[in-house]
Structure 1
Amino acid sequence: MTALVIHALPVLRGILAISALPGAGGDYDADLAHLHDWRPALVLTLTTMSEMVAADAGDLGPDIMHIGTRWVHLPVADYGVPDAADNAKWRRAVADALPALRGGGRVLIHCKGGCGRAGMAALRLMIAAGEAPDAALARLRAVRPCAVETKAQMRWALQGGAE
């Protein structure tokens, strides 16, 4: 079993982090306890429900909310990007995440492995927070070298200044 690793960096006055899907390493309960102790203000889930169920994390949303954390589910296929129909959910996630980060809170974004999708969303959020794209990517990859895996993910992330 592998414990959940939270890859964190400062953004605005808060902490932005990416991770793998809680439970993906084989111990959902321990991962959830770790999240509870880390105390994120918001968890943004980019995994599909089938990925969550396969990792015995099908109740992640209610479990996250039970520990007092806001939860946004924006399912994106592995190696994919959100489509136009997901724009409203993304805007809601940004509307929750940026104030949390400005106020010194913690925001966790995860996908299945904690690389491509999570990195893509974290980079876009960092750009929306006012960071220059190249500097933001360098900072993100300093804590998680695999962040943002495909050209399509990079294109989507670079739209962050338009939030």
Structure 2
Amino acid sequence: MSGFVIHAVPVLRGILAIAPLPGAGGDYDADLEHLRDWRPAMVLSMTEAHEMTAVGAADLNHAIVAMGARWVHVPVPDFGVPDAAGTAIWRKRAPLAISALRGGGRVLIHCRGGCGRSGMAALRLMVEAGEPAEAALARLRAVRACAVETSAQRRWALQGTAPGDVGPAGRDG
């Protein structure tokens, strides 16, 4: 059985979800079929290219586009946050994700395990969509307890929010 589980929360009029990297559980084709059936408008990959290659997902970008979804790649090291170039990509592409959610679409964010990096990006989108940070993190962790794994990830996700708006991040928070 595939380990590809989609953890979803409603945001605006759409659905925002986090998941592991397709193929990370050993069955790339089954994971892609599951993702295709979920019908995302956009998929954000928060993994580095070598991680995708290691699980047989080097062509993920082509597979996502072939299913009619937009694909955005923001490479982030495991347990890390986007660097300046990744943050620039985020700032350019996040409004497209918000627009998809506002229009009732589905946005899926993945990292290797579907926890830290994907949770960080989902939290940031929820906050950018106007949700209070503390409530957004609680809702996200209600469906995926490991979402947002480090203090640095929490800080990146909450850039622009009031200090102290959200509690401990998790492992090192």
Map of 2:6 onto structure 1: 6
TM-score, with structure 1 as normaliser? 0.96
Q: Does the aligned pair in 1 maintain the 2:76–2:86 contact within 8 Å?
A: no
Map of 1:120 onto structure 2: 120
Q: Cα offset for 1:85?
A: 1.9
Map of 1:139 onto structure 2: 139
Map of 1:53 onto structure 2: 53
Structure 1 segments, 4+ long, off by >3 Å, are none
CA–CA separation in structure 2 for the residues paired with 1:80 and 1:26: 24
Instruction: Identify unmatched segments of 5+ residues in structure 2.
Output: 162-173
Match runs of 1:20-99 below 5 Å: 20-99=20-99
Q: Cα offset for 1:93?
A: 2.3
Corresponding letter in the other structure for 1:123: L
Map of 1:151 onto structure 2: 151
Corresponding letter in the other structure for 2:30: A
Q: Cα offset for 1:92?
A: 2.4
Q: Does the aligned pair in 2 maintain the 1:128–1:160 contact within 8 Å?
A: no
CA–CA separation in structure 1 for the residues paired with 2:87 and 2:53: 25
Q: RMSD between aligned alpha carbons?
A: 1.3
Q: Does the aligned pair in 2 maintain the 1:3–1:30 contact within 8 Å?
A: no
Corresponding letter in the other structure for 2:128: A
Corresponding letter in the other structure for 1:40: P
CA–CA separation in structure 1 for the residues paired with 2:50 and 2:109: 18
Map of 2:16 onto structure 1: 16
Instruction: Identify unmatched segments of 5+ residues in structure 1.
Output: none
Q: Does the aligned pair in 2 maintain the 1:76–1:117 contact within 8 Å?
A: yes
* Secondary structure at the counterpart of residue 51 of structure 1: helix
Q: Cα offset for 1:4?
A: 1.0
Number of residue equivalences: 162
Task: Show CA shifts across 1:63-120 (max 9, x none).
Answer: 1101111000111000000012222210122121000000000000000000000000
Q: Does the aligned pair in 2 maintain the 1:124–1:160 contact within 8 Å?
A: no
Corresponding letter in the other structure for 1:154: R
Map of 2:171 onto structure 1: none
* Secondary structure at the counterpart of residue 58 of structure 1: coil
TM-score, with structure 2 as normaliser? 0.91
CA–CA separation in structure 1 for the residues paired with 2:148 and 2:131: 16
Q: Cα offset for 1:15?
A: 0.1
Corresponding letter in the other structure for 1:110: H
Map of 1:109 onto structure 2: 109
Map of 1:130 onto structure 2: 130
CA–CA separation in structure 2 for the residues paired with 1:123 and 1:160: 13
